[in-house]
Structure 1
Amino acid sequence: MAAYRKIIHVDMDAFFASVEQLDRPDFRGKPLAVGGNRERGVVAAASYEARKFGVRSAMPSRLAAKKCPNLIFVPPRFERYKEISRCIRKIFLEFTDLVEPLSLDEAFLDVTHNHFGLPSATLIAKAIRHRIYFETGLTASAGISYNKFLAKVASDLNKPNGQAVIPPEKAEAFLENLPIEKFFGIGKVTAEKMKNLGIHCGLDLKQYSLEFLTRRFGKSGLHYYDIVRGIHPSEVKPDRIRKSLGVETTFEKDLLTLEEVVATLTEKILPEFFRRIHQNQTKGRTLTLKIKYDDFSVHTRSRTFAEAIPLDQMDGLAVGLARQEYLAGPVRLLGISLSNLIRPDDPGEQLRIAY
């Protein structure tokens, strides 16, 4: 039998908010939001104390303040987050060269052949989390399994400051009992579509053929067919280069008017878009709006600038792109993306995700 890989997914606990609480002892134990203010903006990160009130990242700040009247708002300090991220990545690289950052606060590690020759990925994950806490004062959670998908799912099981392992012999039963909305890569819209088909957990999903899933979900159908069986061959790829960053949503009910498109863009799409920009500290020169109609035709509109687009101008630009579109029919998908990405320290190159 072929040997299994040993993959760890490390995810910092409420990273931005935890850094602020670390540097400001008076914030510790209090509900805190990074980004926005009581009047406008979007929450980039929320402390666990704020999450108890229902405050979440990508939530409009005014709604967050309504849910938690005592919520403390602080501006993001990306240089500080990058400083700690670099420290964390150095710790990862002490154990393995195969480190794939996903954002400033999470990464995959392949420790199958690690620098210390340690046979247990579980013990390696514990050692990494201990080192992170010792050197930064911050906690991290980890998931361990034989592929990236399962490791990612596992890292959420015992948050915060915990870890979980899904060994090969238990993967099938685990996935069969996993609620469909807990599958990494299945968002709210897709989860609702699946529930309408009677798919509420992995076991339900497993009953459907590959042909049926590809017919209903397109290319993603193969992915769903594989992951519920514990199949995810993607390798850990160091120094992954991001070419664009975006958000798109397929709707249960088509949008019929331009005002519906604009409202959905500003209330649902852009908050998540800004959260991802904050999380990845992304800058870029091109903003693109994507519209897919009910006949599956796709229209895009974009604007490109000589320099990085200021964050506070993106919402107005996005709405402007939407209002340029003469709707050709009911809208089934809406998306916004940033491309021509640049690093803050090198405006002439594509953004390489830092950790």
Structure 2
Amino acid sequence: MSNTDRIVALIDMDCFYCQVEEKLDPNLAGKPIAVVQYNQWKGGGIIAVNYLARDQGVTRQMRGDEAKEKCPEIQLPRVPQVRGKADLTKYREAGKQVAEVLKSFTNVLERASIDEAYLDLTEAVNTELKNGMPIISREDLSNTYVVGCETSDFLSNIYQNSNSGLCDDDLKLAVGGVIVERIRAAVFRETGFKCSAGIAHNKTLAKLVCSLHKPNKQTILPQQAVREMFATLPIRKIKSLGGKFGHILSETLKINYIGELVKFSEKELIQTFDDKTG
């Protein structure tokens, strides 16, 4: 199977801990929320912030008291503790409910965390394509963005070049996008939780584009748009490169973006660092 034959989606629950708290306490509905945990010094450490609170300038780097200064009406539900440790049971149980919905669409599922899961949709996409080219409208992808172009132009290009075979990969991504629209609708219908998604040809790319349009939206990354996206994508956005090593990498190679990093060969990276890191 080639690099572009596989269709992978990352489902990412929007401000999940806040959504769980809102579902458990309907009085929180429509209010700015930040979930806090552990010691109560200065109002506790914030681990999740919903979008209403973010719009008021509240971030996860703040503590509860500072969040109240920014947003006096903010609600601060607290993570329960058991024997001095955070008890995440209610969030894990909610995550399991979501996973059950996801499993009804594919058996190839990898839970990445309480609020994230990767889905391999390759088989589901190929099944949809067995009966020929489906007619996908803009309405079928009503909550979908496409990196590098408008969604309507993306679809038009697929059908204009349908006889050449040049857009087979894009067609698979489009079908994957339609399936993910259904998945997200089913998650909301069955659990009441909203989520965003990224659809690409592998896990890393699906993860990267998932965050581009949130909340309650999804993004498709065509293979031909990867280079363009990498040109302006900071190195720290790549998993494992966001911390100290990412800083070392930037300083050593005198680069800031992924597009600059991919110009180095594996041999050059091994020579600069070590075998494993390179």
- Paired position in structure 1 for 2:90: 80
**Aligned CA distance change for structure 1 residues 18 and 219 (closer, same or farther; 3 Å):** farther
Structure-1 separation of matches of 2:250 and 2:181? 37
Distance 1:148 1:62, change over 3 A: same
Offset at 1:88? Answer: 1.2
Percent pairwise identity? 32
Matched, 1:8 2:63: no
Shift of 1:69: 4.2
- CA shift, 1:12, in A, is 0.2
Does the 8 Å CA contact 1:96/1:115 hold for their aligned counterparts? no
Query: For 1:144, what is the secondary structure of its paired residue?
Result: strand
Structure 1 residue 113 corresponds to structure 2 residue 126: no
Paired position in structure 2 for 1:185 = 240
Question: Is residue 2:270 matched to residue 1:214?
Answer: yes
**Which string of whole-angstrom CA distances, capped at 9 and with x for unpartnered residues, describes residues 235-289 of structure 1?**
xxxxxxxxxxxxxxxxxxxxxxxxxxxxxxxxxxxxxxxxxxxxxxxxxxxxxxx
1:46 aligns with 2:102: no
- CA distance in 1 between counterparts of 2:248 and 2:180 reads 36
Q: How does 1:278-297 map to 2 (within 5 A)?
A: none
CA RMSD of aligned residues (A): 2.8
* In structure 2, distance between residues paired with 1:215 and 1:71: 52
The normalised TM-score by structure 2 is: 0.69
> C-alpha distance in 1, partners of 2:234/2:19?
29
Whether contact under 8 Å (1:16, 1:76) holds in the other structure is no
Matches within 5 A, 1:10-29: 10-29=11-30
Contact between 1:129 and 1:139, CA under 8 Å: does it hold in 2? yes
Partner of 1:98: 108
Q: Distance in 2 between matches of 1:54 and 1:192?
A: 27
**Mapped partners of 2:25, 2:12: distance in 1:** 22
Deviation of 1:140 (Å): 0.4
Q: CA deviation at 1:38?
A: 6.1
Matched, 1:135 2:145: no
Structure 1 residues 70 and 213: alpha-carbon distance in aligned structure 2, compared to 1, 3 A threshold? farther
Distance 1:26 1:102, change over 3 A: same
CA distance in 2, matches of 1:52, 1:188: 26
Cα distance between partner residues in 1 of 2:214 and 2:261: 26
TM-score relative to the length of structure 1: 0.55
The structural deviation recorded for 1:104 is: 1.3
- Alpha-carbon spacing, 1:176–1:83, altered in 2? closer, same or farther (3 Å): same
Higher relative contact order (CA 8 A, sep 6+): 2
The Cα shift of 1:66 comes to 4.8
Q: How many Å separate the matches in 2 of 1:137 and 1:159?
A: 17
Q: Secondary structure at the residue paired with 1:113?
A: helix
Which amino acid in structure 1 is aligned with residue 23 of structure 2?
L
Q: Residues of 2 paired with 1:110 and 1:41: CA distance?
A: 38
Greater alpha carbon shift after TM alignment, 87-96 vs 106-115 = 106-115
Q: Which amino acid aligns with 2:49?
A: A
Instruction: State the distance in 1 between where 2:256 and 2:50 align.
Output: 30
Higher fraction of helix: 2
Structure 2 residue matching 1:43: 3-state secondary structure: strand
Please identify, of 64-73 and 4-13, the stretch whose mean Cα deviation from structure 2 is larger.
Answer: 64-73
Amino acid at match of 1:24: D
Unaligned segments of structure 2, at least 5 residues: 81-87, 130-174
Query: What are the within-5 Å matches in structure 2 for residues 130-209 of structure 1?
Result: 130-196=185-251, 197-209=253-265
Query: How far apart, CA to CA, are the structure 2 residues paired with 1:186 and 1:40?
Result: 31
Contact 1:118 1:124 in 2 (8 A): no
More strand by share: 1
User: How far is 1:63 from its partner?
Assistant: 4.5
User: Shift in Å at residue 159 of structure 1?
Assistant: 1.1
